[in-house]
Structure 1
Amino acid sequence: MVSTRARSQHPLAEIIETLESGGALLPDSEENVLEVVGVLKSYAIVLDAYSNNLNYIAEHQFLVLFPFFKYFNGDVSAKKLLKHWWHDRFNYEFAEYCMKAMFWHGGGGLDAYLDTPEFIALAQKAINAKLKGNLFMQGLSRAFPEFLIEQVRLLAYYSGLGQFWRVMSDMFMELSDRYDAGEISSISEVVALVKEGLVKNANLPITYAVTIDGKTYDILPKSAGLTFLMDTAVPYVEAVFFKSFPFMGTVSYNAQARAIPSEPERFAYGVLYADPLPTGGAGIPPTLLMQDLRHNVPEYLHQFYRRSLRGEEDLRVMICVSFQKSMFCVTTAAILGLAPHPINTEDPQEQKANRKYLEGWMDKLAESRIANVQVCEM
């Protein structure tokens, strides 16, 4: 059917029209499908580990101010300690990096709830129970009443991100299984599966409670009405895909140097904007993730990388390129899932509303690497 829509005047009009016709931010090709599915299979394994650890910290390291063994998930042994020191482990620091980006940038119902009197009252009950008999910490809490409340807010984000990644890990593993079974063969099908997963889990409750001396204390009760999509997924996309932080050691944080925007709203350091080439350098947080992904890429993707010009010499960079492509697919699913009307609507008014909505997204993506993923970079 020939489209009756007027052509958009936006600089990224071609991509807008691609989305309106059922396409994605990432072009469809056999190689792109292989890269995206392969790297998301590895990501599913990594997110499983990240999610388990974030939830463990939230539930079992509650107000432990010096959590030396927080990355051990309760299994501390000499063998595991040696592996930890040798760095033979997942880089859980990257999970905390993403969590702190969400915490700092805020947004969504979770951020709003953490400033309510209800949350403060619940957090204070848990704090009082945790400090029972600890005169030093009780005195510290009285002297700085906001200190421990802020720690509980941070732990709520540990739990919220852990629950979000739990869903995404299962979703990406299902994608891989269906690809292996021959059920997924196009980028549009990848996007459709992710979109379906986001919609299916949209109203999944986000709750958080801790057990202290055998008694359970709600921190994020079900009555708060926090849900997967609007209160964790959307703020995550905004904080990690778009804003994030300038990488320390690569950009001056000196206010007088004006090397970074003075307003966080203008930050554009997220995964959709980051240049993959510095991956592997000191002070580049995604290097930690790429290292974890490197250990878990499926063999078919590894073979694809070996056929590139440099072979395995820049493996982390190639993984980063594939990962960035996959995140443009996830972003497509989020864009389509949040659209005011079905993207294939024939109603002119609904088409107009969708067009305005898509142009808003393209304004945000204009300075991203969207142009780079339109061509093969391997």
Structure 2
Amino acid sequence: MPVISQDLVQSNLAIDQAEVKRRLLAGETLLTDTPDHVLEVVGVLESYGEVLDAYSINLIYQAEEQFLNPFPIFKFLDGDLNPAKIWRHLNHDRINFEYAEYCQKAMFWHATGGMDAYLDSAEFADNCRRIIAAKRRRDPLLALLNPLFPGFLPELIRSAATTHALGQFWRVMSDLFLDLAAAEREGRVCSIPQVVDFIKDGLVAAAANPIEYSVEIDGERFWVLPPQAGLTFLVDVAVPYVEAVFLRGMPFLGTVSFNAQAQQISPDQAKFTYGALYADPLPSMGAGIPPSLLMQDMYRHLPEKLHQWYLERTRGEGDVRVKICMSFQKSMFCVTNAAINGTMPHPLTSSDTAAQAANAAYAEAWAQRLGIARTDCLAASLPGGLKS
């Protein structure tokens, strides 16, 4: 989501860093607990879960079936070359997998976490050499490219590894968000604290899931991310995803100047604030703006209850994608809240001084980053979409 201006639609209801830290250490949710917020968050996450299901399937298909394909023109079709599906694709009657690619590129570019450390290892380089040697035997184009550009194919394999890992991550999150919606319908989740706890428990349950990836070439199986690498769901994929997509993100063409002399973009990637938690809720629906693609995908899968709630507020259908964007941002604060709670160094109930100090330092580090995000969306809403 592009940050058009840090204060373009910022209200005076934003909570500051001190309040973020207090809520985290008190075990309170960042998002105010109201029935409307429950409706928004659960509904938009249900829609997002449906979208992530398609994203996950496609990313894994790309990594496994389009591996080192120099011309992957059918990569968004999941192997289904039905003429009707191709026609719908050309007419944009489809899921916008370009947004999934944007998230993959953000993770790939920011390169944080244990998976990226493994991709820099000698073991990964050896795996790449074996894969390339096998692949080039039947692919004259790759056989020509590799000696001319020796870093090109390893970089593509590295990108494919990130693609597959993100597909595995979204598989878990899709199931989690759809389970959350089912729990809300059954009355097991009725408040924002219960939403955050449900997501936290899901993340913790999947924390140790192995992240592995192999490809088949001429009937032989080659490891890209082998079991020996010891990569796991939470620390090696989920946390880097939050860092790359929720926090850092990437500036979009047309939203800020890429001219180095203008100095609108920090030379330090760690200081980027173009992620979902910082963005103004202004999806332009202009070509190539990834958040617009995601809002359109979620619009196609909105639960009817949430859709009707949107229609009763402000401009009805006229700004529905902006409303989705705002609800999505609230839901991402809940997911971030759950991730923070699940990775807190020690239980918040601990009476040990050292444990309390460690928790305080952890909460302070998050507060410094979240305190300058779009925390004004965390306040309660009044009927008609106005803030209290």
Q: TM-score, normalised by structure 1?
A: 0.95
The offset of 1:271, in angstroms, is 0.1
- In structure 1, give the amino acid aligned to 2:39: L
Task: Write out aligned runs for 1:108-147 (5 A).
Answer: 108-147=113-152
Aligned to 2:371: 366
The offset of 1:133, in angstroms, is 3.3
Q: In structure 1, the residue corresponding to 2:211 is in which secondary structure?
A: coil
Task: Write out aligned runs for 1:16-165 (5 A).
Answer: 16-165=21-170
Could you report, residue by residue, the CA deviation over 1:252-297 in whole angstroms, capped at 9, with x for unpaired residues?
Answer: 1111221211211111000000001244334421000000000101
Is residue 94–residue 289 contact of structure 1 (8 Å, CA) maintained in 2? yes
Task: Write out aligned runs for 1:1-378 (5 A).
Answer: 11-376=16-381, 378=385
Which is further off, 172-181 or 248-257?
248-257
What's the RMSD between the two structures over aligned residues? 1.4
State how far apart, in whole Å, the 1-side matches of 2:173 and 2:23 are: 26
State how far apart, in whole Å, the 1-side matches of 2:364 and 2:334 are: 18
Is residue 247–residue 276 contact of structure 2 (8 Å, CA) maintained in 1? yes
Q: Which runs of 5+ in 2 are unaligned?
A: 1-14
State how far apart, in whole Å, the 2-side matches of 1:42 and 1:297 are: 5
Q: Which runs of 5+ in 1 are unaligned?
A: 1-9
- In structure 2, give the amino acid aligned to 1:229: L
**Aligned pair in 2 of structure 1 residues 215, 139: CA closer, same or farther (>3 Å)?**
same
- In structure 2, give the amino acid aligned to 1:57: Q
With a CA cutoff of 8 Å and minimum separation of 6, indicate the structure with the bigger relative contact order: 2
Could you report, residue by residue, the CA deviation over 1:4-57 in whole angstroms, capped at 9, with x for unpaired residues?
Answer: xxxxxx943233222333211111111001100000000000000000000000
State how far apart, in whole Å, the 2-side matches of 1:245 and 1:376 are: 30
State how far apart, in whole Å, the 1-side matches of 2:206 and 2:232 are: 9
Which is further off, 115-124 or 324-333?
115-124
Could you report, residue by residue, the CA deviation over 1:188-214 in whole angstroms, capped at 9, with x for unpaired residues?
Answer: 101111111111111110000011121
Q: TM-score, normalised by structure 2?
A: 0.92
Q: How high is the sequence identity, in percent, across the aligned residues?
A: 52
State how far apart, in whole Å, the 2-side matches of 1:176 and 1:375 are: 21
- In structure 2, give the amino acid aligned to 1:287: S
- In structure 2, give the amino acid aligned to 1:276: P
**Aligned pair in 2 of structure 1 residues 113, 331: CA closer, same or farther (>3 Å)?**
same
Q: In structure 1, the residue corresponding to 2:102 is in which secondary structure?
A: helix
Is residue 252–residue 289 contact of structure 2 (8 Å, CA) maintained in 1? yes
Aligned to 2:7: none
- In structure 1, give the amino acid aligned to 2:253: M
**Aligned pair in 2 of structure 1 residues 278, 72: CA closer, same or farther (>3 Å)?**
closer
Is residue 17–residue 370 contact of structure 2 (8 Å, CA) maintained in 1? no
Is residue 20–residue 344 contact of structure 1 (8 Å, CA) maintained in 2? no
State how far apart, in whole Å, the 2-side matches of 1:156 and 1:320 are: 29
State how far apart, in whole Å, the 1-side matches of 2:181 and 2:271 are: 35
State how far apart, in whole Å, the 1-side matches of 2:84 and 2:283 are: 33
User: What is the count of residue pairs matched by the alignment?
Assistant: 369
- In structure 2, give the amino acid aligned to 1:177: A
- In structure 2, give the amino acid aligned to 1:103: F
